[in-house]
Amino acid sequence: MRKNDVAIIVGSSSDLSLAKETVNVLKEFELSYSLNIASAHRTEEYLKQCVERAVSTGVKVFIAIAGMAAALPGVIASHTILPVIGVPVDGKNLFGLDSLFSIVQMPKGVPVATVALGKTGAINAAILAVQIIAISNDGLKEKLKKHKEKIAEAVIKEDLKLQKDGIDKYLERLNK
């Protein structure tokens, strides 16, 4: 069985576009992953099997992407002692607030780290997983430092454009 660093589980196939964002970041950091579709409400036993299989492959972190009632991250957390990161789907019902509240309001003793809604959350979940794994991986720590430097450089580059062009020209360029 293939060893994996991160297990990504989505509640339905409609969440796969967010999972792709997570996968892209994990690939950037050269981390291995598994990806499954399993519903906390409709496939409870299968979900438990996915968690057990992931643990047996050496997974260090779970990322659960779920919408609506969003029980998935909590159910995963109930089946493992490993860190679980919940990504609330920014769905059309209640604008994703139902997902956010479901994931962030875990009972005492069953923690789930919760990130932002939607695409930003899917990306941040991957970064958080990398940070967790980097605690014991110096090579990954260096990659994270370079990643943060790259983000900082992009912000400074935008500020230099703003300073050169002024706000009107800058915003005009953005709106094209």
pLDDT of the residue at 1? 65
Q: Is pLDDT at 2 greater than 80 in this prediction?
A: no
Give residue-wise pLDDT tens across range 116-165.
999 999 999 999 999 999 999 999 999 999 999 999 999 999 999 999 99
pLDDT in tens, 37-89: 999 999 999 999 999 999 999 999 999 999 988 899 999 999 999 999 999 99
Can you give the pLDDT at residue 43? 95
The CATH architecture one would assign to domain 6-136 is 3-Layer(aba) Sandwich (3.40)
Write the DSSP assignment of the chain as a string of letters.
Answer: ----SEEEEESSGGGHHHHHHHHHHHHHTT--EEEEE--TTT-HHHHHHHHHHHHHTT--EEEEEE-TT--HHHHHHHT-SS-EEEEE---SGGGGHHHHHHHH-PPTT---EE--SHHHHHHHHHHHHHHHHHTT-HHHHHHHHHHHHHHHHHHHHHHHHHHHHHHHHHHHHHT-
